[in-house]
Structure 1
Amino acid sequence: MQLVVLVALLAVLAAAGVLALQSMGGKPTAQSSFIGGDFSLTNQDGKPVTQATFLGKPTAYFFGYTNCPDACPTTLTDMTDRLKALGPDGDKFNVVFVSVDPARDTPQLLKTYLESFDPRITAATGTPEQVADIIKKFRVYAKKVGEGDGYTFDHSTAVYMMNAKGELVTLIDYQAPREEALEKMRRALTS
């Protein structure tokens, strides 16, 4: 019961931060500084990546796992479409798929998984402690459901749109209308 109350409280706090972002036209605010931060992970090529790796360009972070039946492949397909729709501006973004399932999602598996999506998308994983650290810093909800090989995850499905300085600009909702998502990405270019 306490966990449910804690998750609800975090959702309210996150929503308050998003409302503040929206009311400020997507510009970073004091509330948005509570989301994100430095991390240490490994990309699909086995190379270390940190927040500094992605600074200098707006970055879209999405949290999920390769065995996800719907939200993850849908969001990665949507991000592939959005990068193409942006034309040359698509090259001005980093898109990072962070696995919440480090036990199964090895760099090699992530590399194979990404072959179905835009080659500009990076995947990242790490030790359970490293993954728990980035999940905490981004205020992501991720909970393992089930036991054995058939477990799944309940997890947040929003895309975290950060500016080139690593500050949260806005969230892109799961299956947001294309033009709305593109507008939010364009906003990150100027924030």
Structure 2
Amino acid sequence: MFYEIRFHICTLFSACARVANGHAKEIGRKLLDQMPKHSHNNNVLLTSALNMLMKFGDVENAENIFQMMKKKDVIAYGAMMKGKLVINIYQISNKLYLGYVENNMYEKTLDLFEQLPFPLHNVGYTIIFNACAQLLNDRAKQIGRKLLQQMPKTFYNNNIILTSAIDMLMKFGDVKNAENLF
């Protein structure tokens, strides 16, 4: 029974995030406020809520939910950094959209990346390369180049990751290394 309720709540959060107008924001926030207390330990629900709030541009409340999560997983970190991750939990795929990057908070994306207690997955590389490409400061250049050097060789076959890395290097003015990746 709880599984069905959780599924419906996640679906409603997702619908509110996609519509993101005044009425959807009102419904989403009300649903979040009325969510049963025992649900506050469920990463799937909290990540869906976090994603919705980021879509609304409500970064402060999304950060509060993120801090409240006892066991942060790669999905929660991804939702905060960018979103646009696809997860499959109990055979349910749920796209998580937005986050710091899409709210133009690139420094916070890098801050969160530096706190990440586990290795990045393929989408994570794209997120961080994009944040570095947008910032273009010394810190972003250092992180972006280091991440590219440490990236597993298997990811060099992923055109999306490579395109993000090439875009980053070109914005850094590093045409030679961008051409080498191409």
> Larger Cα Rg: Structure 1 or Structure 2?
2
Structure richer in helix, relative to its length? 2
Alignment TM-score > 0.5, same fold: no
Higher relative contact order (CA 8 A, sep 6+): 1
TM-score, normalising length from structure 1? Answer: 0.28
Structure richer in strand, relative to its length? 1
